[in-house]
Structure 1
Amino acid sequence: MTDPSRPSDPSPRILRLAELPQDAPTAFALEPDAGTRAALAETLGIDAIRKLRFTGTLAPEGRSDWHLEGVLGATVVQPCVVTLAPVATRIDTTVTRRYLAGFDLPETAAEVEMPEDVTSELLPERVDLMAVMTEALALSLPDYPRAEGVELGTAQAAPPGVAPLSDEELKPFAGLQGLRDKLRRDS
């Protein structure tokens, strides 16, 4: 009997690096079932994930490092930031991770800087493919999804009897530009 809380993926979700072949890449493919996609959508704060597939390989690199190369494909539904109508978005992205035995972690929080290579991580004992897929999906979601043809309007507010300020008037250098134009006309 199968566990309904586990999707029927063609490959395991967690790959123990010590158990993988050291001379060839290990292929993987995750296709979470509807229940797992619904739970993931709730975790990510979106309406739905209609389709989700993460495929690729995890290959040894050198003596102790590993390289994950994958493709994430998903169809997600998010609310429009203007109308709240559901917006479906297709996501197709490449996912790359390098797991390095010699990865240097900073000693204190004061030393933390964004590394140049954001794909590199400390070598783990095992790679959780579901976690990698979830992170890649979260990073690929549109920040401000909009329904087709929807434009973000302008908001204007002012007390009664006073003309509202426009966006142009609120820009800090708008007055200087007017002064520059006046000075050019005068000279």
Structure 2
Amino acid sequence: MKPILSNPVRFSDLPQRKPTHVRLVPDEGQLEDLADRLSVDFFRKVRFEIDLTPGPGRDWTLTGKLGATVIQPCRVTTDPVTTRIEESVTRRYTPDLTTPEGEEVEMDDDTLEPLPAILDLGEVLEEALALAIPEFPRSAGAEDLDLTAAPEGAEPLTDDAVKPFAGLAALKAKLEGGE
């Protein structure tokens, strides 16, 4: 899927001895499209300041500051919740990356990625923004949910009752009390 704010960069066209600075600021229409794509009410603003730094060797490092203001509904009351996002973004690109194979693989460095010929900075912005948006925003007035349930006529379980050693603690207290 093509990013809303496409900004392709070819690493071979960048200066090889100094960082390249890029600033992405979506316009109003792009902010609306981003909100639709990321399933939020809207963005007041989004800003992504990026430095692409060459080295060591043929590697490249992307460091950036993502700033955004997002409005989305509270998951309890549906009232609008405004969240300010300030995130640091780091990606390291290397041509020598070998992807481990297997069903479950641990990655030592989650910022390391294969070096593409062309990197779309709009994709990096969207990915970082999607990861930074709160999944379950709550308004200041939202009360804690009461999720207790029990069959008719039965007492719902309490937090203390479901703790594995709650019964043993009560028994120990009885024994120590001489009952």
Which TM-score applies when normalising by structure 1?
Answer: 0.84
Q: CA shift at 1:91, angstroms? A: 0.3
- How does 1:102-181 map onto structure 2 within 5 Å? 102-106=96-100, 108-110=101-103, 112-113=105-106, 115-181=107-173
**Which of 32, 43, 53 is the aligned partner of 1:49?**
43
**Which of 31, 37, 43 is the aligned partner of 2:31?**
37
Higher mean alpha-carbon deviation, 158-167 vs 97-106, is at 158-167
Q: CA shift at 1:52, angstroms? A: 0.3
Q: CA shift at 1:22, angstroms? A: 0.7
Q: 1:85 and 2:79 equivalent? A: yes
Gaps (5+ residues) in structure 1? 1-5
Change (3 A) 1:185 1:67: same
Gaps (5+ residues) in structure 2? none
RMSD: 2.2
For residues 38-94 of structure 1, the C-alpha deviation after alignment (integer angstroms, 9 at most, x for no partner) is: 222222222211110001210101231101111000001121121111101000111
Higher RCO (CA < 8 A, seq sep 6+): 2
In the aligned structure 2, how far is the partner of 1:25 from the partner of 1:19? 12
**Of Structure 1 and Structure 2, which has the larger fraction of its residues in helix?**
1
Which one-letter code corresponds to 2:50 in the other structure?
A: G
Count of equivalent residues: 177
Which one-letter code corresponds to 2:166 in the other structure?
A: A
In the aligned structure 2, how far is the partner of 1:152 from the partner of 1:111? 36
Which one-letter code corresponds to 2:103 in the other structure?
A: A
In the aligned structure 2, how far is the partner of 1:165 from the partner of 1:63? 60
Change (3 A) 1:46 1:68: same
The aligned residue for residue 16 of structure 2 is 22
For residues 101-135 of structure 1, the C-alpha deviation after alignment (integer angstroms, 9 at most, x for no partner) is: 221211x333622x232111111111111111111
